[in-house]
Amino acid sequence: MKPTCPGPTLGVVGGGQLGRMLAEAASPLGVDVVVLDPTPNCPASRVAEQVEGTFDDANAVRALAERADALTLEIELADPDVLEAAGAEYGVPVHPSPDALRTIRDKLVQNRAFEDAGVPVPEFVRVDDADDLADAVERFGGAAMLKARTGGYDGRGNLPVEAGDDYEAALDDVGAEEGGALAEELVPFEREVAVIGVRGDDEVRTFPLTETVHEAEIMRETVVPARTDDAVAERAREVARDALSVLDGRGTFGIELFEVEGGEVLLNEVAPRPHNSGHWTIEGATASQFEQHVRAVLGWPLAPAEARAPTVTTNLLGDVSEPREARLGGVERALSAPNAHLHWYGKREVRPLRKMGHVTLTDADSDAEDLLAEARDLREELTFDADHDASEGTPT
């Protein structure tokens, strides 16, 4: 698709925060965005047009394709068969390809595809019932990571399991009844890292290695440059490129990895879209992962994928015990800090541990450790707690 200004219209399946940030990145390029999402007035609807409908509603996807010059996605719940059919009916390219989505949306299929291609992954087995899980836990030395094959996100659908646990309850907890599960060895990693990889029409770019800090299986912070050595960073980019070679189609991919003892790197999972681990690129890189995704899916030239300066992000998660109207208190300090950038996702309701926004800090004169300490201090000031003085809050 030849670059023009004004540009084409991009249809996006999903209208959450990723769809919102995609639309924000597309606008300066002259690209209009239409999103498909079942939630009325979804976060992306503030900056893009919205088609209301579920991600697997064939008529809704057809309506999206009818209004778009290219189709992409920001959520793996998109139905690859429906996307493929709508794209063919309206002559609209779909990227990443429906085949890539078919591979990635089922974690067992994903692991097998990467293993067959020689990409290093943790040892894994298919789990269909409690007996299978018991065998897996014994095989992996008394503990395993149980994962739902489909539907998991933001740490949901993943559960560490040990010998003696209630295996039936564990399978229920991850939602395995919907599509089965797999168990992986618990990897004794040095740190979790990620590479944002971008495949264009005839080029591949990888952003610098990102260190990701998790708690209770949910990512809380990212640190760039990752606090590891150059050899590990290079090996991680090699594994990321090998993983990209397994998948068809253009776009931005979030590639999650483990750094293990001895400098080896194992592939954890891949997302066929921009990823939370790449939000730092909005302020911290020469072009964001979202701009790169727009360029890639349209077949336009990619921008350089280089860091401008040390950069840290901290996620703003719902610190509430039950759902309530979203109002963030304590934003004044974040807005006053000269090197901080507040991002609000536009969700009307805050729920326990729901991702509501993030703060990025970047500074060429600071190192990652100092920025991380500053980010944590800022995050302590930001709360959805109703008892907190929210007079400076940000209403939805």
Residue whose pair of structure tokens reads 């690129």 in the numeric block:
281
Please list, in sequence order, all residues whose beta carbon lies within 8 angstroms of the beta carbon of residue 202, skipping any fewer than 6 positions away: none
235-270 residue pLDDT tens: 999 999 999 999 999 999 999 999 998 889 999 999
Higher-confidence residue of 393 and 195: namely 195
The pLDDT, as a whole number, for residue 390 is: 43
Q: How confident is residue 387, by pLDDT bands cut at 50, 70 and 90?
A: low
The pLDDT, as a whole number, for residue 391 is: 45
Are 195 and 207 in contact, with CB atoms under 8 Å apart? yes
Please calculate the CA angle 254-109-186 and round it to the nearest 5 degrees. 70
**Sequence spans of domains, the chain:** 9-94, 123-185, 189-395
> Do 123-185 and 189-395 share a fold?
no
Range 189-395 classified under CATH 3.30.470.20? yes
Q: For the domain bounded by 123-185, which CATH number is listed? A: 3.30.1490.20
Instruction: List, as residue ranges, the binding site for ATP.
Output: 107, 147, 184-187, 192, 214, 268-269
Are 98 and 81 in contact, with CB atoms under 8 Å apart? yes
Mean pLDDT within 353-361: 96
Amino acid sitting at position 293: H
73-130 residue pLDDT tens: 999 989 999 999 999 999 999 999 999 999 999 999 999 999 999 999 999 999 999 9
Instruction: List, as residue ranges, the binding site.
Output: 107, 147, 184-187, 192, 214, 268-269
Residue 64: pLDDT over 80: yes
* CATH of the structural domain 9-94, one choice from 3.40.50.300, 3.40.50.20, 3.20.20.80, 3.30.1540.20: 3.40.50.20
CA dist 394 and 174 (Å) reads 34
CA 293 distance to own-chain centroid? 13
